[in-house]
Amino acid sequence: MAVKIGNIDLGEFPLLLAPMEDVSDPPFRFVCKQNGVDMMYTEFISSEGLIRDAAKSVQKLDIFEYERPIGIQIFGSNIESMREATEIATKASPDLVDINYGCPVKNVACRGAGASLLQDIDKMVKMTKAVVESTHLPVTVKTRLGWDDNTKNVYEVAERLQDVGIKALTIHGRTRAQMYKGEADWSLIREIKQNPRIQIPIFGNGDVDSIEKAANWRLEYEIDGIMIGRAAIGYPWIFREIKHFFKTGEYLAGPTLSERIEVCRTHLHKSIEWKGEKTGIFEMRRHYSNYFKGIPNFKDYRMLLVKLESLNAINEVLEDIRTKFDEVLA
């Protein structure tokens, strides 16, 4: 049976790309879309930044037709600001608006936004209701199990947010206190999915970094789909590989060195197209080591790539990598 968010048909068991700060920009989303991701989100956008028309926040609203379906994710601590930000986000014509109630980082959570709302469910419900009433688009939420081990309240969160009109819920299987440490616990996610009151799609997130986990957890935790974050950085092929396994029960061969180079190059070109040569090249630097993970003695090349400032010079190094490592990896 197809999974639907409002009128958006995501197919039988969708794979979603997590919104990640400084990662989920249009160039990165482009290479994930090429590899079969079903649904993507922008980086999270500050509601206050949108209202103030801050350049960085406004630029994150950039979405492209080929990315659909795509959601714009917003966060904030003030209900009125979130209402206004929803109206601004709606004008950018995404397919849905997502609220971030999961971000654990200090400068978000300690300002009363992101995961900090898990400490005040009444306010979270009011804020969600305000967002739902401010747009004609479906509203979804991403959150965590709770603030800490003593307050795992996501079961209540799921029911109450569904009651005020959200159309899907993604749960990261950690508390805010855990940040990204330890193992994600999906057992509570399954309990929510099994709750007869819950009618909306429930997506699981946290630690899915292999075909085996995706396949096993799909069955074990009965979720409607999986959201993948860190495992897709430098490895957008994870979506393609999981989908192939679901379809055929067979493992797809990993990307060849040439393919890694081509996708890395595509990502770089898209980055330059979107941000201009200087910023585009600078922002690509964080991705090189991920694209070439596992290649022996790659460090010298990485050091070189993160210093270069022209597209031609980077292309030359990428060709050099192809020549040098093709024989090693053949």
Q: Are residues 216 and 263 in the same domain?
A: no
Q: Are residues 243 and 261 in the same domain?
A: no
Q: Are residues 267 and 302 in the same domain?
A: yes
**SS3 sequence of 59-116:** HCCCCCHHHCCEEEEEECCCHHHHHHHHHHHHHCCCCEEEEEECCCCHHHHCCCCHHH
Nearest to 100 by CA among 180, 42, 163, 22: 42
Q: Is 181 exposed, middle or buried (0-12, 13-18, 19+ CB in 10 A)?
A: exposed
Q: How far apart are CA 235 and CA 238, in angstroms?
A: 6
Q: How far apart are CA 158 and CA 131, in angstroms?
A: 16
Q: Are residues 156 and 236 in the same domain?
A: yes
Number of domains the chain contains: 2
Q: How far apart are CA 65 and CA 256, in angstroms?
A: 29
Q: Which of 218, 248, 278 corresponds to the end of one domain? A: 248
Q: Which domain holds residue 140?
A: 4-248
Q: Which of 226, 248, 270 corresponds to the end of one domain? A: 248
Q: How far apart are CA 325 and CA 76, in angstroms?
A: 47
Q: How far apart are CA 99 and CA 47, in angstroms?
A: 10
**Cβ proximity of 134 and 126 under 8 Å:** no
pLDDT of residue 326: 67
Q: Which of 248, 279, 302 corresponds to the end of one domain? A: 248
> 32, 103, 110, 264: which is the annotated catalytic residue?
103
Q: Are residues 239 and 287 in the same domain?
A: no
Q: Are residues 189 and 266 in the same domain?
A: no
Q: Are residues 30 and 67 in the same domain?
A: yes
Q: What is the CATH number of the domain that holds 297?
A: 1.10.1200.80
Q: What is the pLDDT of residues 202-252, one digit of tens each?
A: 999 999 999 999 999 999 999 999 999 999 999 999 999 999 999 999 999
Residue whose structure tokens are 């992101």: 114
At residue 271's C-alpha, the angle toward residues 294 and 266, to 5°, is 55
Q: What is the pLDDT of residues 68-92, one digit of tens each?
A: 999 999 999 999 999 999 999 999 9
Q: Are residues 66 and 177 in the same domain?
A: yes
Q: Are residues 155 and 26 in the same domain?
A: yes
Written as six digits, the tokens of 117 are: 């709302």
Q: What is the DSSP letter of 256?
A: P
Q: How far apart are CA 147 and CA 328, in angstroms?
A: 48
Q: What is the CATH number of the domain that holds 216?
A: 3.20.20.70
Q: How many Cβ atoms are within 10 Å of 194's Cβ, its own excluded? A: 11
Segments in the chain below pLDDT 70 = 326-330
HSE of 32 in the Cβ direction (CA atoms, 13 Å)?
31
Q: Are residues 226 and 265 in the same domain?
A: no
> Which amino acid, one-letter code, is at 145?
L
Q: Are residues 208 and 289 in the same domain?
A: no
pLDDT of residue 328: 53
pLDDT of residue 239: 98
Q: Are residues 26 and 146 in the same domain?
A: yes
Read off φ and ψ for residue 277, nearest 5 degrees: -60, -50
Give the three-class secondary structure for 64.
coil
User: pTM above the 0.85 mark?
Assistant: yes
Q: Is 103 in the active site?
A: yes
